[in-house]
Amino acid sequence: MASVVNDGVFIVLKRKNLWAPWRIGYIQGLADKNECFICKNVGTPQDDDKNFVLWRSKNCITVLNRFPYNNGHLLIAPARHIPDFGKATDEELLEMNKLIRDAQKALTLAIKPHGFNVGMNLGRCAGAGLPEHLHIHIVPRWNGDTNFVRTCSDTYLISQSLTELLTALKQTSAEHGLPAL
């Protein structure tokens, strides 16, 4: 329990715990700085389901983010271990842009978002968890999806399991001629 005096008003804050045991994988992963999970995913096609790899295309890989900001959070990355657009070929740049289009289509069909955030964090100071390997975030958004839990405690509520989402997106991709493994 903590006490705070704010403008003469005495406030008692009672701590509550919100358990998120799945984050231990992320926290432990941070310790292993030498491993690039995108390169690991690229090199282990036999583990695609376990690694939540959605698509493999000529120069890129598209995976579900294991630690999503929102349901349906995808990562699109070149297969090559390059840090930014400056090192990408024209072919890779074009393919990544096509995959943004395809990801938006697949997610729209499968889980019907109202909008998207599409973007990159370049450099660790900009929030990149893996600054050495370029990747584009596709984050579906719904009206009203920012709620008090996220605002007050930096906690994200995800409404669907990664396994269920992967299955739905694979099925949608097959039905609509989108990329595959």
Active site residues: 135
- Taking CB under 5 A as the criterion, the residue among 29, 39, 83, 131 binding Zn ion is 39
Quote the CA–CA distance of 111 and 136 in Å, as a whole number: 20
Nearer to Zn ion, 22 or 26 (CB): 26
One-letter amino acid identity for 48? D
From candidates 56, 73, 133, 170, binder to Zn ion by CB under 5 A: 133
Cβ contact 60:96 at 8 Å: yes
Q: Is beta strand 53-56 parallel, antiparallel or unpaired with respect to 74-78?
A: unpaired
Determine the size of the site formed for Zn ion (CB under 5 A).
Answer: 5
Tokens coding 168:
């739905």
Q: How far is the CB of 153 from Zn ion (least distance, A)?
A: 32
135 binds Zn ion (CB under 5 A): no
In the complex, least distance from residue 30 CB atom to Zn ion, rounded to whole angstroms:
16
C-alpha span between 52 and 63 (Å, rounded) = 6
- 3-class SS at 64? strand
Closer residue to Zn ion, CB minimum distance, 38 or 169: 38
The verdict on 38 binding Zn ion (CB under 5 A) reads: yes
Shortest CA distance to 160 belongs to which of 142, 175, 144?
Answer: 142
Among 57, 66, 81, 84, binds Zn ion (CB under 5 A): 81
Q: Which residues bind Zn ion (CB under 5 A)?
A: 36, 38-39, 81, 133
